[in-house]
Amino acid sequence: MPRLGVLTGGGDCPGLNAVIRAVVKTANAGGYKVIGFLDAYSGLVERRHITLDRQAISGLLHRGGTVLGTNNRDNPFRYPVGDGTCADRSDDVLRTLDDLGIECLVAIGGDGTLSITKELVDKGARAVGVPKTIDNDLAATDRTFGFDTAVATATEALDRLHTTAESHHRVMVLELMGRYAGWIALESGVAGGADVILIPEIEWTIDAVAAKILERKRAGKPFSVVVVAEGARAPGGGMVVRERVKGSADPVRLGGIGDLVGQLIAEATGIETRVTVLGHLQRGGSPSPADRVLATRFGVEAARLAMEGISGVMVCLEGSRVSHVSLADATKRLKKVPPDHQLIRAARAIGISFGDVEP
């Protein structure tokens, strides 16, 4: 029986299991067997894998996380070898694929995993990518699954913060994920009725943020809700880094901008302020119906392409159509929020401040 491989890489995200399920169902219907590699590319380097049959994918559609496991550390081209040093183990990956008779690998991941996949394809592997990130920041696809669920989780948090902000006449700051792009903050901020939204793409000042909050107070609303993306810059500075992890492929851990914003607001307005960091709650749990649908469409298309012998591409959404682009194009550019985006303009029209001087 011909074989496909599948793995999940990078940070997890709601909908990964739905992709795995769709790949297996489509492949089985086409007469293929599917091998799942455990813990991202580590499973290929170390030959840790399982057979994904009907039984293994039963009940996966609505399950969060990934049954295959994942990590955002182990790059086979710079593989950690224990003593703090790295070695190139990419030949081992090719050998595993070959020995197991895998015709094509379906690699589900973000820009890191997809870049590794491209390097392996350049070396002779056959692979199809599936984009994944709650941040929705890959330019080559209009949407990534996981984003809709993250926005829903953040919106629910904002709804809850609203009632306590109003009762106590406080400012509530919510720090959300969004490393380089503020899509989660923007969409949940609008959906959750935030008064101020701070994102990496728009420079903000504490004067403008405080002016908005004080204007609301004068108008009889002594409470405000502020959303800040983790990648938003500090006034006059850069991103706020919680820690730098030596030896990690992804050494910069963001965090702390929410506390900074909260402290500056309290000082500038004199209003009692509290800060909540939503963190990994945005990545966990069951995918929304929209994410289950998108994940399923991506999985079906990836398996179809793989079985047709197409390699070196990533499935993507173009408008409402699932299509594909080359892996080279897929990993080239991030999709940031354009400061004149229609949703930014709509948000401004209903009085939401981005902490800047309105253009």
Which positions are annotated as active-site residues? 135
| Least distance between ligand F6P and beta carbon 110 (Å) | 6
Residue of minimal Cβ distance to ligand F6P: 177
Query: Could you tell me if 148 and 254 are in contact, meaning their C-beta atoms sit under 8 angstroms apart?
Result: no
- Site for ligand F6P contains 254 (CB under 6 A): yes
| Least distance between ligand F6P and beta carbon 138 (Å) | 10
- Site for ligand F6P contains 178 (CB under 6 A): yes
Query: Could you tell me if 12 and 283 are in contact, meaning their C-beta atoms sit under 8 angstroms apart?
Result: yes
Residues binding ligand F6P: number (CB under 6 A):
13
Among 4, 125, 134, 152, binds ligand F6P (CB under 6 A): 134
Pairing of strands 171-176, 224-229: parallel
Query: Could you tell me if 22 and 291 are in contact, meaning their C-beta atoms sit under 8 angstroms apart?
Result: no
Build a one-symbol-per-residue string for 111-130: x at contacts with ligand F6P by CB under 6 A, - elsewhere.
--------------------
- Site for ligand F6P contains 336 (CB under 6 A): no
Query: Could you tell me if 132 and 162 are in contact, meaning their C-beta atoms sit under 8 angstroms apart?
Result: no
| Least distance between ligand F6P and beta carbon 282 (Å) | 7
Build a one-symbol-per-residue string for 216-245: x at contacts with ligand F6P by CB under 6 A, - elsewhere.
--------------x---------------
Nearer to ligand F6P, 72 or 323 (CB): 72
List interacting residues with ligand F6P (CB under 6 A): 11, 72, 110, 133-135, 177-179, 230, 253-254, 283
